[in-house]
Chain A
């Protein structure tokens, strides 16, 4: 076991290393460890937090606020990932996704519903050709603590049930042990199984600990072929935070500058209010530009955000603060 410049451990029994910056495999003839001298850039935590604080002072009001809220609504992955999920609950959530608030015409529908693989078929039947995607969590969600074959089976099952998108979890255990190759190979293999099915890679940033690791894991997931990188499962605290989101968006930006490819990003967990959602949109716009302000490249994973956005939209149109009593629940 040796240590790289940033303290990353490299497994000496493996002959190859992956440059997470270029995505190329660095092959090594000998069995000597080959430290990766091109690690992800260091993250300036103080700088990130100050930038977030500054971006949060942006004031988005009136017409722009309405536009931002509608955009945020169209980016939501309406989510239910409970042990108690039933077909009835998923149907109800799909109905909500189709009819977010019929009393206010002209609203976009949400981007997708996000469910466990066993509920994909139910959701597909409800949503039909509405344009709302069905995303399934797979690969031993939420912990990722299963053997490789089980994860593959889980993934194949989700795809065979008809999922349009798959949210996978990385093996944080392996990642934190320093087995980056394993994590990379896993993501790359899952992506090859997915084919055209969109693959979102959940980093579970709450378990990674530092922004440096978030950045490194983001680079790794993007290099391995993840279509989206996603902050959290929603089962671990802290879930999505704005500093983490900024760091991940910067990884997406740098990846785009290097390769020309546009990859997406999805903060999930703990985004409950319309105000937070608008702050996230500001961060996206300032980091990646308006090209990323589309559901194809940015999503919110949330279970209760939808109604708060709707309450704000109705408030903007009526001038009166709203009550959740008058909005249908998602499940």
Chain B
């Protein structure tokens, strides 16, 4: 009997509902805690990012146009799909250095987070909308609307939960996102993109890149067609880069070291639109 050679997964990017390799053809090594080689991970380039922005931009309008209830259903579906792949996610987190208990907890929290934001999908608007008292014959009201295309620099230390913690509130609010996964622990993000691809999330709404943060940060922050950058981390130099580059098109630069389940996380990538409607005329 011959010995079977296991089929290894190729870790690729996720852009526009497809899994391309980096256009640059580059990869970087991912080794586990013991130094064993686990995978060649695609090393995304600024052109990959640009391509992702193009598809994210074209997907944004129809994603924001879906009913809030529908977006909630899709997020719920994401939770269901992660649940079905529990063992895979746990094993992968262990490869990236987590203990079994930590990995289990992280996957549980990831699913709970998705369900949490699925629930908020048609409720945060009520929480953050206002009717404004004005001294003229107008009915004035303000509602949150998605800011558009958001770039997310995901946390370095939390491969799965960290990503989902930031990603879910961005997309539930009708934004599309290009997420740069942790370059220290990139595997879970790509496996999570397989979940996205099978959960009725329209192509282009979530795009996930792997690559070096140091290489891509300035390009991400400077891109004129990105409306907001969410940076999960505490590196002062990185923040400086983002702030100076983000000023080019006055995009929102949102810095957050930790994120927990909260409707205010949704609000961070929303714009407030105020309408003045004449009355009594």
Residues of A within 8 A of B (CB): 319-326
Contact = CB atoms under 8 A, between A and B. Distances in A.
B201 interface: no
Interface of B: 46, 50, 53, 219, 222-225, 245, 248-249
Contact of B248 (A320, A324, A325): A320
Nearest to B223: A321
Given A320-B222, A321-B50, 4 more contacts: A321-B53, A322-B225, A325-B224, A326-B224
9 contacts: A319-B222, A320-B223, A320-B224, A321-B46, A321-B53, A321-B219, A321-B223, A323-B225, A325-B249
A71 to B, nearest CB: 23
Contacts of A325: 224-225, 249
Contact of A323 (B46, B219, B224, B245): B224
Nearest to B50: A321
Contacts of B53: 321
A223 to B, nearest CB: 43
Nearest to A324: B225
B275 to A, nearest CB: 22
A322 B53 CA distance: 11
Contacts of A322: 224-225
A275 to B, nearest CB: 11
B62 to A, nearest CB: 17
A325 B224 CA distance: 9
Contacts of A321: 46, 50, 53, 219, 222-225
B209 to A, nearest CB: 14
Contacts of B219: 321
A241 to B, nearest CB: 21
B176 to A, nearest CB: 14
A324 B50 CA distance: 13
Contacts of A326: 224, 249
A320 B248 CA distance: 9
A325 to B, nearest CB: 7
Contacts of B224: 320-323, 325-326
